[in-house]
Amino acid sequence: MKTFNASKSQTMRRSLATASASALVVALTVSLSQRALADEVKPPQVPTDIQVPAGNIAFLKGAATGTQNYECTPASAGFAWVLFTPEATLFNNADKQTITHFFGPNPEEPNSDPSVVADGTIRAAWQARDTSTVWARVFPLSKPSFDPLFVRPNSVPWLLLEKRGVQEGPRGGDLLTRTTFIQRVNTSGGLAPATGCSQASDVGKKAFVPYTADYFFFTDATTIDD
């Protein structure tokens, strides 16, 4: 009976040791995978105006193809094309669709605009295939860059945006929930038309202008091993 108990105890110790070793391997694998992912995402050089604050690291990139959508509206100086939403699909390096980009209500910011019917403030939004979503606005300490050393002629500016809200997908998708900042760079096209919005009869017209861009998603560098 004592021999059986000793054997059983040894077996349990071996099982616990094996389980601990397996858990350590999994943890190291996840950590290394996350570090490798971050190491693979190398954002380009950017103008000083849109540099990401220190302490943040790029963890995801998407190459966007879509349109910048404008509507002709009355303005103080007469009439102007106003962006009402972007509409783009982001692809990874394998040309697989990963994220969609649009404007939408941010549930973390109550809507205070009486002219808009929505449950939250309308912000630029990105939703991943796992349905996690991040909402962002232009970072107040930055400004849109048309620097000719970086930005192509006749293209929408490069931007630095800060997170204003995140949401997991209904099944726990969390790819974008760690986002802190987003850079829009390498833009081509997308500017509002130069004509077609100059008189009252033009009000309500819409223009869907093709554009491409790269979006880089950043996270707090201290969370990359979480």
The tens digit of pLDDT for each residue in 21-42 reads: 443 333 333 333 344 444 589 9
Q: How many helices (H) and strands (E) does the chain have?
A: 1, 8
Determine, yes or no, domain membership for 145: yes
Determine, yes or no, domain membership for 13: no
Spell out the residues 6+ positions from residue 117 whose beta carbon is closer than 8 angstroms to its own.
Answer: none
DSSP 148-198: TTTSPTTBPPBEEEEEEEEE--TT---TTTTEEEEEEEEEEEBPPPSSS-S
Q: What is the mean pLDDT of residues 100-123?
A: 96
Q: Are the beta carbons of 205 and 193 closer than 8 angstroms?
A: no
What confidence tier does 199 reach under pLDDT thresholds 50, 70, 90? very high
Question: Does the pLDDT at position 69 exceed 70?
Answer: yes
What confidence tier does 170 reach under pLDDT thresholds 50, 70, 90? very high
Which range marks the domain in which residue 201 is found? 41-223
Q: What is the mean pLDDT of residues 64-85?
A: 96
How is residue 140 written in tokens?
Answer: 């107040």
Determine, yes or no, domain membership for 198: yes
Determine, yes or no, domain membership for 164: yes
Strand partners for 76: none
pLDDT given at position 39: 57
Q: Are the beta carbons of 182 and 58 closer than 8 angstroms?
A: no
Distance between CA 67 and CA 191 in Å, rounded? 10
Determine, yes or no, domain membership for 155: yes
Instruction: Identify the DSSP state of 145.
Output: B
Q: Which residue has the tokens 């930005």?
A: 151
Instruction: Identify the DSSP state of 84.
Output: E
What confidence tier does 72 reach under pLDDT thresholds 50, 70, 90? very high
Determine, yes or no, domain membership for 11: no
Strand partners for 124: 103, 136
pLDDT given at position 77: 84
Burial (CB < 10 A; 0-12, 13-18, 19+), residue 156, is: buried
Indicate the pTM of the whole model.
0.82
Q: Which residue has the tokens 């021999």?
A: 3
The number of folded domains in the chain is 1
CA nearest neighbour of 83 among 49, 123, 118: 123
Determine, yes or no, domain membership for 6: no
Determine, yes or no, domain membership for 7: no
Distance between CA 213 and CA 113 in Å, rounded? 29
